[in-house]
Amino acid sequence: MNLVKSLVAMLLITLVIFELSSFAVTKMELFLFNETPSVYRFGSNTNYRDIVYGRTERDPWGAWHAPNGTYTHTMFCFNVEMTFNEVGARDSSFSDLSENSLFLLGDSFAEGFGVSYEDTSQYIIERELGVEIANFGVAGDFGPLQELLIYREFHYLQHNGLIIYVLPANDFTDNDANFWAGISRQRYRPYFGNDDGNPLVPYYFTEAKKRDNFLDPTGGVIKQFIKDYFWSANALRTALVMLRGNTRNASIDEDSIESFFYDANAQQQINLLLAYEEILDLAGERDVLFVIIPGIRDIRRRKAENLPDSYKQQTWYQGLQTFESRQQHKVSLLNLMDHVPVDTSGMFHVCDGHWSPRGNNWAATTIAEHIRRNNLFPTIVSQ
């Protein structure tokens, strides 16, 4: 019995020393993660916690945000705050949205993953053009079918036009049930359906469960508890990253250069176009701008191709170009792959494949210039 007590005492002393040491090293900012546990920053304020508490999956379009809350999002290369308005968008209130505003539809690149609000492409475009942009971008594997569903939900709000971010890196697979069947059937998210011959009728896995946060109900709860309450979380997270060898962006270091600019299958391409065509129909006479976004792998793949622009002959790209000939409104296509600078260093987070502040600024200024040059949204954009 005395041996057990001694072992328990030694374990407790070791844990206390580990916690105190982690506190000291964090304050010296020597870990990859040097985050103050949320309990010490925000106390019992549950509306100001880690981003996993601010992401939901309970609406028909799946991934979304808890309304009226501020949360922190931290990886070893960024530490930002994210605030969501009364409907759950990462933006200021929509209660007095101007009739001259624009809607932004898209995934995490539109949301502004890993950057402060002032560094998001949305904010920079607003500043460049002097227009209000309602940001409906959201992270969490968010694809074109979900963009259609969220636009159906909110298109009654006043707006003059749309900007739609197209991310081939995952937009072809985000709503592909066959792709996700082997990954997760529990997530409450829509997929293109085929049972009645209409892919735009959403399909949900029968095992799907709505959830109010993105906490893993198993080990994730324990991990988040440690992150919320203990300085030691910084040491453990740093060790895990270093053991995995991913202190640099995995998308850069991996040998694979698969790119859905080139590799999407026929059905995936058709489904993407069907969702966007339905959005165009809902948009009525409003101008619409599609922005094609290349990720790191896409840029690498293009450099490795003998015919770098061969993807422009594929169904998905040709279909987006065809939208430009619609008569009822102006539709424009901006392919950011054609504007990638020679030096892409610093454009993407080193710990993640999303735009850094520099990447957001490059994209936003390119988009703003395209809008001016093509006279898009002419009634609200000063030329």
Which secondary structure element, helix H or strand E, spans residue 325, and what is its range? none
Q: Give the separation between CA 129 and CA 104, rounded to whole angstroms.
A: 14
Position 312 scores a pLDDT of: 98
> pLDDT tens across 296-333, in order?
999 999 999 999 999 999 999 999 999 999 987 899 99
Burial status of residue 264 (CB atoms within 10 A of its CB: 0-12, 13-18, 19 or more):
buried
Distance from chain centroid for Cα 153: 20
Can you tell me the distance from the alpha carbon of 74 to that of 84, in angstroms, rounded to the nearest whole number? 17
**pLDDT (0 to 100) of residue 252:** 43
Which tens digits make up the pLDDT trace of 216-270? Answer: 766 667 877 787 888 888 887 778 778 776 554 444 444 458 999 999 999 999 9
**Domain coordinates in residue numbering, the chain:** 39-227+258-373
Task: Tell how far CA 340 is from the center of its chain.
Answer: 20
Diameter over CA atoms, the chain: 86
162/104 Cα distance (integer angstroms): 6
Q: Which two tokens stand for residue 23?
A: 């506190």
Q: Compute the half-sphere exposure of residue 25: CA atoms within 13 Å on the CB side of its CA.
A: 17
* Single-letter residue type at 152: R
Give the mean pLDDT per block of 10 residues along the chain (383 residues).
Answer: 79 84 81 79 70 96 97 92 97 94 98 98 97 97 98 97 98 97 95 85 96 81 80 81 61 65 97 98 97 97 96 98 92 98 95 96 98 92 65
Residue with tokens 């006279």: 375
Task: Please choose, from the candidates 295, 303, 227, the residue with its C-alpha nearest in 3D space to the C-alpha of residue 260.
Answer: 295
SS percent in the chain: helix, strand, coil, step 5: 40, 15, 40
Q: Residue 46 has what pLDDT?
A: 59
pTM for the full predicted model: 0.89
The domain covering 39-227+258-373 belongs, at the CATH homologous superfamily level, to SGNH hydrolase (3.40.50.1110)
